[in-house]
A = this chain, B = another copy of it.
Amino acid sequence: MTTQVIVLNGGSSSGKSGIARCLQAVLPDPWLTLGVDTLIEAMPVSMQTSAAGIEFAPDGAIIVGPEFRTLEAAWMEGIAAMARAGARIILDEAFLGGAASQQRWLNALGPVQVLWVGVRCDGAVAAGREIARGDRIAGMAASQAEIVHHGVVYDLQVETTHTEALDCARAIAASVL
């Protein structure tokens, strides 16, 4: 019943990556952090701006094409196999499809023990942090803040509007079996 995968699901600029790094620092065993950004960086540059791959709408919304879905499905199978082979994995995700995204991961992970964590941040606060970061397309934080949680079922939720990443990580670590 040992936790094999921790899924951090939250909108852009909600603070997931910072929590992931803090989790790696506070958990006693070594954990790998992977996620949708790893997958996107692995794709051809051309797929990052094409109808087949990923498109960014003017309001920061993301549209994902069929070739993205195909590679993503194989990626998920690979992550599940890594976990079964003994790697502890933190997944840094933004479930743009809400419950449907979670179901895809459930199908891929099968019996792997997962801790599902919702990372919540007030949309206006996340939008401000998006400006402070300066490396994200304006509007992603606001457009994703709510939809990524739609219909998703969690074991635990953390809230970064008023809580530091390290404190969120400690709360999550306390739930890791």
Q: Which residues of A come within 8 Å of B, CB atoms?
A: 15, 17-19, 21-22, 24-25, 30-34, 38-39, 42-47, 52-53, 67, 70-71, 73-75, 77-87, 125, 128-129, 131-134, 164-167
Contact = CB atoms under 8 A, between A and B. Distances in A.
A167 B131 CA distance: 12
A74 B86 CA distance: 6
Contacts of A166: 128-129, 131-132
A45 B74 contact: no
A33 B134 CA distance: 12
Nearest to A72: B87
A18 B86 contact: no
A167 B124 CA distance: 12
A19 to B, nearest CB: 7
Contacts of A129: 18, 164-166
16 contacts: A18-B129, A21-B45, A21-B131, A21-B132, A25-B45, A25-B131, A30-B43, A32-B42, A33-B42, A75-B82, A77-B81, A77-B82, A81-B81, A125-B164, A129-B164, A129-B165
